[in-house]
Structure 1
Amino acid sequence: MTTKADTNTQTAKVVLVTGASSGIGEATALRLAAEGHQVVLGARRTDRLQALTEKIKADGGQATAQRLDVTDRDAVRDVVDEVVEEHGRIDVIVNNAGIMPLSRLDALLVDEWDQMIDVNVKGLLHGIAAVLPHFARQGGGHVVTVASVGAHEVYPTSAVYSATKFAAWAITEGLRMEADPSIRTTTITPGTVESELAEHISDPGAQTYMKTFRRNLIPADAIARAISFALDQPADVDVNEIIVRPAAQR
């Protein structure tokens, strides 16, 4: 199989993908590695990261794995610094780690609200804070944020989740406006995608609602392809946002 690594090695980038152990993160790691990029996989489930790393290497790609909890600011900074120490630079961070324990507000699942804020918002900020000094020193870099259509709409049970994803969109858009043009920013906004997100919903009402909402799904690689497209543009082209959803999702 001919990959981008065989035909266009000068475009290879060092890419850190958070939440890489499943779903969109896993699909993104597989696709970017197949296209010739050096991929660093970050997530808490090291057994899955190791298996994914071995698969990528067996398929001829380049990958390493790092245990990473994005809610730990120091840990995120240390992982990014290790990537730069090992590879000499970091070109892209794909801020993909996220959780979606939906519930109605009157269910008062406050601990789950806190978890979403810690992972979906603070985790994103930790990633940005870790890479920006390196991007400034290098004279360039690319921040990719995986948000959600929940960043643009609110439905029953999604109030807190949508708030965190709107925050992710707003933070990334703010970075785009503030940063030097050499630092590109992209928000990837998925609709319903095959993933483990819905499995973490503990509220019975939200579980029932999501069975209906998730009748139409697209594979995680559809989102990985969008990320690949954004990364593949020339340096003077900044893809600000891509919304990707099932054709049947209205």
Structure 2
Amino acid sequence: MPLSVPSSATWRRRWTPSSTRSPGTADPALPNHNRRERTVTVTVPTRAPSRSPIPNDQPLVGTVALVTGASSGIGAATAAALAAHGAAVAVAARRKDRLEAVASDIREHGGNVLVLESDITDEPQAGDAVERTVGELGRLDALVNNAGVMLLGPAVDAPLSEWKQMVELNILGLLFCAHAALPHLLRAASEGPRQVADMVNISSVAGRVARNGSGVYSLTKHGVGAFSESLRQEFSNRYVRVSLVEPGATATELAGHNRPEVLERIRSQFGQTMDAQDIADAITYIVTRPRHVAVNEMLIRPTEQER
């Protein structure tokens, strides 16, 4: 059972100096009018943790979030979930038509959303997505680095263009967005409505366990994990929380970019899968924690997935 300590606690105890007692005398706890007593008062100040009030219904009211890779899957579900919790949301991806569909759904449910057609593998475009978010929505309290690509297959005949594509999007795109966003997140942590900011980086179970045929994809996700932990340590005392989310098998478009034979192998390996909403719920949980709580890492697998 956890110990509950008030903001200031005082204990008083009566005691008898040993010099007033001789061997064989009665227990000093028993009444004895000839016994000298002293009262010692000890006051132990304790500091209550700084906590921001969080309404139960929409804890993100007044905040702004930028979600990359938001045209489908985990990104689209996350943008909708954050908007439902009160955040104004900027959605970034290359496919503007898909972004407009995501934005339309958010608006139908009363959300505030900004559409950003952006290729974050291009450094200026990544920076522009962040600056437009701040310029048009007023601030940036949360960045969800979700954009990524997974191209699997034997290394011996893998097109180098696929390896380059994964490195550019999964690593460089994330770095470009993180670098552009950090000054704004630091400002939100000191001046924002919740006095805390979040960067959530989406990795994968492949960032923990490398599989045959997933070498470069696993490399990129291990890198995301290392980068996230370094940033977490650097900014924790400034209340920019950096979280790593590692989904297992999830039913999204991610696997669909692979060649047909690889896609068939993926489907045969994983029976049960999660939905994008399962991961969006986890991300929403992370960013709605009170100021004094940070969820540093979250590994999420389907119940039946072994590794």
1:72 is displaced (CA, Å) by 0.9
How far apart in 2 are the matches of 1:25 and 1:72?
19
1:21 is displaced (CA, Å) by 0.4
Instruction: State which of 249, 255, 259 in structure 2 corresponds to 1:192.
Output: 249
Structure having greater relative contact order (Cα 8 Å, sep ≥ 6): 1
Specify the alignment match of 1:228 in structure 2. Answer: 284
| Alignment of 1:16 onto 2:72 | no
Letter in 2 for 1:17: V
1:5 is displaced (CA, Å) by 9.1
Instruction: State which of 117, 141, 163 in structure 2 corresponds to 1:91.
Output: 141
How far apart in 1 are the matches of 2:220 and 2:266?
18
Letter in 1 for 2:272: N
> What's the CA shift string for 1:31-51, capped at 9, x where partnerless?
111121111100000001111
Letter in 2 for 1:141: A
Specify the alignment match of 1:175 in structure 2. Answer: 231
| Contact residue 134 and residue 140 of structure 2 kept, 8 A | yes
**Corresponding residue SS for 1:145:** strand
Runs (4+) off by over 6 Å:
none
| Alignment of 1:34 onto 2:91 | no
> What's the CA shift string for 1:132-189, capped at 9, x where partnerless?
1222334352110010000000111111101101111111111101125211111111
**Corresponding residue SS for 1:179:** helix
TM-score by length of structure 1 reads: 0.93
| Contact residue 14 and residue 38 of structure 1 kept, 8 A | yes
Bigger radius of gyration among the two: 2
- Between stretches 9-18 and 20-29, larger displacement belongs to 9-18
1:107 is displaced (CA, Å) by 1.6
1:209 is displaced (CA, Å) by 2.0
Instruction: State which of 236, 240, 246 in structure 1 corresponds to 2:296.
Output: 240
How far apart in 1 are the matches of 2:282 and 2:270?
21
Distance 1:6 1:186, change over 3 A: closer
How far apart in 1 are the matches of 2:168 and 2:126?
13
How far apart in 2 are the matches of 1:151 and 1:55?
32
Letter in 2 for 1:150: A
Specify the alignment match of 1:123 in structure 2. Answer: 173
| Alignment of 1:159 onto 2:209 | no
TM-score by length of structure 2 reads: 0.76
| Contact residue 59 and residue 85 of structure 2 kept, 8 A | no
**Corresponding residue SS for 1:208:** helix
- Between stretches 189-198 and 99-108, larger displacement belongs to 99-108
More helix, by proportion: 1
| Contact residue 53 and residue 64 of structure 1 kept, 8 A | yes
Specify the alignment match of 2:123 in structure 1. Answer: 73
- Once the two structures are aligned, what percentage of the paired residues are identical? 38
| Contact residue 193 and residue 220 of structure 1 kept, 8 A | yes
> What's the CA shift string for 1:211-244, capped at 9, x where partnerless?
2123211111000000000001111211101111
How far apart in 1 are the matches of 2:185 and 2:166?
27
What runs of 5+ residues in structure 1 fail to find an aligned partner? Answer: none
Letter in 1 for 2:243: T
1:12 is displaced (CA, Å) by 4.1
How far apart in 2 are the matches of 1:61 and 1:32?
9
* Alignment RMSD (CA, Å): 1.7
How many positions carry a matched residue from both structures?
246
What runs of 5+ residues in structure 2 fail to find an aligned partner? Answer: 1-53, 191-195
How far apart in 2 are the matches of 1:9 and 1:105?
46
Matches within 5 A, 1:132-151: 132-138=182-188, 139=190, 140-151=196-207
| Contact residue 186 and residue 241 of structure 1 kept, 8 A | yes
